[in-house]
């Protein structure tokens, strides 16, 4: 993720009723080709933009929120509108290619333990290394 949440950190995310620009959120990585999510793969990035999608079917119109929408502010939505979230990793120079809905978001990161995620993956890495060694 970056300086605010180092790569390899163990992040604790809690579902929210509402998400805001600036929130760090955890979500399942979208599979852009199939329109489905990749199972068991999670990503944690910052919400950098929220847009409103009005209507349903092929007549959907997206209205991006102006950059002046400050951190921690949520736009007011019209009835029947759907929020779309754009995310970006703090260490990345570009915004992610996908747009997420509230259903895609698993939660907002409320705290993290730097680098502890690496330690939790250590048994998996060791088992994989042993299995690869035995297969030769």
- For residue 83, the tally of other CB atoms under 10 A from its CB is 19
Q: What confidence score (pLDDT) does residue 66 get? A: 43
Whole-prediction pTM: 0.69
Instruction: Express as a percent the part of the chain with pLDDT over 70.
Output: 71
Give tens-digit pLDDT for 46-94. 999 999 887 654 334 444 444 445 566 655 555 667 899 999 998 889 9
Find the mean pLDDT for residues 92-121.
Answer: 90
């Amino acid at each position: 993720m970056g300086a605010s949440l180092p790569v390899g950190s163990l992040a604790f995310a809690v579902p929210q009723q509402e998400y805001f620009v600036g929130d760090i959120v955890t979500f399942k990585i979208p599979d852009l080709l199939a329109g489905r999510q990749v199972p068991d793969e999670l990503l944690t990035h910052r919400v950098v933009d929220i847009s409103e999608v009005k209507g349903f079917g092929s007549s959907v119109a997206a209205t991006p929120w102006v950059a002046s929408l400050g951190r921690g502010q949520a736009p007011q939505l019209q009835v029947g509108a759907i929020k779309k979230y754009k995310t970006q990793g703090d260490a990345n120079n570009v915004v992610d290619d996908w747009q997420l809905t509230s259903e895609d978001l698993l939660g907002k990161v409320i705290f993290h333990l730097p680098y502890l995620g690496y330690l939790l993956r250590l048994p998996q890495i060791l088992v994989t290394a042993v299995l690869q060694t035995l297969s030769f």
